Amino acid sequence: MKKVLSIALALCMMLTLTVCVFADDEVIWSEDTLFFTSGNWNDYSFDDGDGLLEALQVEGAVLVITRDAESGVTGGGTSDSYENFILIDSWYVCSPYVWLGTAGHTAADEPSKEGLIDCLSDDGLVCMYDAATVYAAYEAGGALAGGSPIIISNTSAEGVYKITNVSVIVPETPVATSTESEETEEASEETAEETTEASSTETSTASSPDTGVALALVPMAIAGIAVVSSKRR
């Protein structure tokens, strides 16, 4: 009975994660890897490797790797803190390996990993990669010549999380890269600042008296005072 409940719970968790992540996207390939844990060189061999490779070639596709908990791995490629994934063939023909970076471990952080592919996004649970870029690297490494594709966890977060799902999707809305998101945010902030400055200038102009008119009235006022004073004498 306990075994049945455990399996049912695992399936519920799997379905929940999949629906949450892909609710508005077209899933063209998906494989659940509930028992693939994070760690140093832990690997998983895909049951439908050919299907994965075909899906990576679909126009506009995105490779998605889903964790069941936040990794908590930070740092810029330091020796005691690292996290990325590797896509390679089961014969290890692929050279160089197809390194897949995460939010805290980019190509700039780890230049020693030749050809490391930066993720499009990584919120701690879900990593996304441009599928065409991944496939091109896999093909260029000669991996199509032998074995089937496997995924490797290369991370200092030993056993902290499990990879629950690997999918290839075509997003309803294109996934913006981290750089594009930062540029958009900066542009929005600049626009907001310009709008605020323009608004402040308009308010200042509207609430201030016409200085030219005010100065023009000064001599007239002085002349009036002089006339009154002369009459009083």
CA distance linking residue 175 with residue 119, whole number of Å = 10
Q: What amino acid is encoded at 227 in this protein?
A: V
Q: Are the C-beta atoms of residues 25 and 169 closer than 8 Å to each other? A: yes
Give yes or no for residue 212 having a pLDDT over 60: no
Which backbone phi and psi does 33 adopt, to 5 degrees? -130, 65
Compute the average pLDDT of residues 112-129: 94
150/11: higher pLDDT: 150
Give yes or no for residue 224 having a pLDDT over 70: no
Element (H, E) at 168: strand 162-170
- Tell me: cis bond preceding 209? Omega within 30 of 0 counts: no
CA distance linking residue 185 with residue 54, whole number of Å = 35
**Distances, alpha carbon 96 to alpha carbons 21, 38, 72, 84, 167, in Å:** 31, 22, 27, 15, 23
Q: Per-residue pLDDT tens for 11-52?
A: 454 444 444 455 678 999 999 998 899 999 999 999 999 999
Query: How does residue 183 score in pLDDT terms, banded at 50, 70 and 90?
Result: low
pLDDT of residue 28: 97
* Stated pTM of the model: 0.69
Q: Are the C-beta atoms of residues 90 and 52 closer than 8 Å to each other? A: no
Range name among 27-31, 98-102, 195-199 with the lowest pLDDT average = 195-199
As a whole number of Å, the end-to-end CA separation of the chain is 117
pLDDT of residue 228: 40
pLDDT of residue 111: 85
Tokens of 59: 């126009």
**Token match 């968790």: residue?**
13
Which segment, 1-10, 83-92, 218-227, is predicted with the most confidence on average? 83-92
